[in-house]
Structures are given as structure tokens and as C-alpha cells.
Amino acid sequence: MKKTLLALAAAAAVMLPAAALADGHGKTKACFIYIGPTGDFGWTYQHDEGRKAVEAEFGDKVETAYLENVPESAEAQRPIEAFARSGCNIIFTTSFNYMDPTNKAAGKFPDVKFEHATGYKREHPNVSTYSSKFYQGRYIQGQIAAKMSTKGVAGYIASFPIPEVVRGINSFILGAQSVNPDFKLKVVWVSTWFDPPKEADAAKALIDQGVDILTQHTDSTAAMQVASERGIKAFGQASDMIKFGPKTQLTSIIDDWAPYYIERVKAVMDGTWEQQDVWHGMDHGSVKMAPYTNMPEDVAKMAAETEAKIKANEFEPFTGPITKQDGTVWLKEGEKADIGTMLSMNFYVKGVDDQLPK
């Protein structure tokens, strides 16, 4: 329904682009491409909160539009270009595999600014990339998991084997091993970002296989509910999911995109927008942690201390010594991972009980 209305709106806007821009005082239009529905209460929900924050900040000076459930394939090309034609001044494409379509569209529409989340390709001067260091939060979760688990094994519901997800898994196990060097992690790939019943099935399978802590890199609250039913603890993802597991959620990584979206839309308004590649973490407030709940005080204290250290840039999860899964040394004592390896991470570190799909 929304999609249809937007398509109609887009069609109307194509016919009247001159009218909107003629007086030079036209509104700035910020457009968003979403992978899931705004009601997923996870990844897309948080991006949409960012969009709403832009509206709240600039009032009638901006106009926003969004498209939900845009597939991560060549099909994404059409909606992105439709947005560009419809008079959007800045377009945020909020999922990894929009990378190529975004860059292609940017080549065709040099006057429109493109912002691609979680990617690394900037083939034209009007493409920026942005992401957040979610893995910082996963390190803290790993530490908590190792303290809370009685069996010493956690379950991880993963979406697709892209660097961002692999980084999260590695960071989680590194955090866990910092507390319990023998900690194990079982990974299940569900090949989707959003499919609540399937995520629930994966959660049940992991619990049946003996894990007693669940964490996820998919977008719905399904796993939290299953964990709750089965009486084990779990971590939320992207949003605070405490309502779905009041006695279950230990903490959750919260993505806060609002400051970045406001900053970039403002840059377009002021004419100061320039290409950039940002990767903010806890230090910029773009990654936050939900309250530490359902755990003893000493565990919460440890988590808060790690969080404070990461926030102050005193600690970085990917600091050596780190050994890869195959036993070779990746980082020597005290050595920090370089950004190139971080952004293209395609290997597991030691302790992950899974084979990384290629």
C-alpha cells in the first residue's frame, strides 16, 4: 500500500521536477531505501527513527520519503533511480548489498548525494559510505555471555556471511574468551535478514543443541521470544527488545542513526556536503547499549567498565594477540587490526565452532 502510494508520488514528481526546484527555496528532500519493513522493530526500525529525527529537526524545511522491503539485488536499481528522478537531494541506502546499485545510480545522477550504509565502494564523488562499529557492543556481549553461561557455549543466529556479520561473530568470541578462554560459539546461518518464524526455528535448534545464551544478527524479536519461552538468556539486536524478554534480555546493541542523518541532511542544505567514509562507534554515540539487566551486579559492572573503555577509545576489541581459526597468527601482542582487514573480514578467529561459508 505504502509502496504503491510512493510509486504514484514518485511518478507525479517525475512529471513536475522543475516546479519543485524553480524558486530555489524548495524543500530539501531526503529519501531512504530500507531492506525490511519499518515495523521490524530492529534494523530498519532504527533507520526510520533516524528519518523521523530528521523531520523533527528541520520541520518544513525537509521532506522525507522511504521505500520498504527493497530486495538486495539488481532490482534495487530501479527504486533508487526512481527516487533520484523524483527530486530527492540525498538518498540513504541502508543495507550492504545496495552497494553496486547505489554506485551505479550515483554515476547517472551526479547532482544527487548518495549515502550507502555498511559498504565500502565510493566510485563517484557523490557517494559516501557510513557505518557504525556494532562489533564493539558484541565484544561486551561476549564478555557477559561467558560470565552468564553455565555450559560455556552460546548460539549465534547469523544472516549472511558478509564482513559486518563475521566481524560481529569474531568480536563476540574474543569478548567471551577474555573471560573464559574455552568458550565456544555455535553459529547458524538463516540466509535472511528478516523472517521471524525462521529466526525462531533457528533459535529453537540452537537451544536444542545445548546453548544457553542466544545472540543474533537478524532483524526481528523472534529469537528473544523463543529464549524467553525456553528460559535462557539472550541479547537483543539493533533496538532495545526488553519488552519481548523482560526476564531474558541481558542487554542489546542499539543503533542510533539520528545524529548522522541530521548532520548529513544539514550538509546538503548548507551546500557543504562532501564525500566521506565514516565509521563511528561508541565514542560518537552511534552505538549504544541497552541497560544491563537480568545479571548479577559484578557482571553488569564489568560490562559497564568495558563500555566506558571502548567509549573513551582506550580499548579496541581487535587488538592482538589474536589467532585465526586455522591456527595462524593474525595480530601479534598489542598490534591493532588495520581498517582494510576490518572492513573486508572474511575469516573466523579461534574458538568459533563453525565453518565460514564462502
Partner 1 sequence: MDIAVLISIIVSVAVSATPLLLAATGELVVERSGVLNLGVEGMMIMGAVAGFSVAQATGNPYWGALGAIVVGALFSQLFAFLVLTLVTNQVATGLALTILGLGLSGMIGEGFVGQPGIKLEKLDIPLLSDLPVVGPLLFSLDAIFYASIALVLAVWWFLFRTKTGLMVRGVGDSHTSAHALGIPVIRIRYLAIAFGGACAGLAGAHLSLVQVPQWTEGMTSGRGWIALALVVFASWRPGRVLIGAYLFGAVTIAQFHAQASGVPIPPQFLASLPYLATIIVLVLIARNRRLTMINTPAALGQPFVPDR
Nearer to partner 1, 72 or 229 (CB): 229
Distance CA 111, CA 106 (A): 8
Given a contact cutoff of 8 angstroms between Cβ atoms, the answer to whether 234 and 276 are in contact is no
Nearer to partner 1, 41 or 130 (CB): 41
Nearer to partner 1, 222 or 310 (CB): 222
Distance CA 157, CA 214 (A): 8
Given a contact cutoff of 8 angstroms between Cβ atoms, the answer to whether 46 and 239 are in contact is yes
CB of 248 vs partner 1, minimal distance in Å: 11
**Which helix (DSSP H) or strand (DSSP E) does residue 9 occupy?**
helix 2-15
CB of 307 vs partner 1, minimal distance in Å: 25
CB of 228 vs partner 1, minimal distance in Å: 9
Nearer to partner 1, 316 or 354 (CB): 354
Applying CB under 8 A, the residues found at the interface with partner 1 are 1-4, 36-41, 45, 68-69, 155, 186-192, 194-202, 204-206, 208-209, 211, 220-222, 225-226, 229, 239, 243-244, 353-355, 357-358
Query: First and final CA of the chain: distance in angstroms?
Result: 37
φ, ψ of residue 249 in degrees (nearest 5) = -70, 125
Q: Which amino acid is at 21?
A: L
Round the CA-based radius of gyration of the chain to a whole number and report it. Answer: 21
Nearer to partner 1, 158 or 310 (CB): 158
CB of 292 vs partner 1, minimal distance in Å: 21
Nearer to partner 1, 32 or 58 (CB): 32
Distance CA 196, CA 198 (A): 5
CB of 333 vs partner 1, minimal distance in Å: 30
CB of 221 vs partner 1, minimal distance in Å: 6
Of 116, 100, 85, 96, the C-alpha closest to 21 is 85
327 secondary structure, DSSP code: S
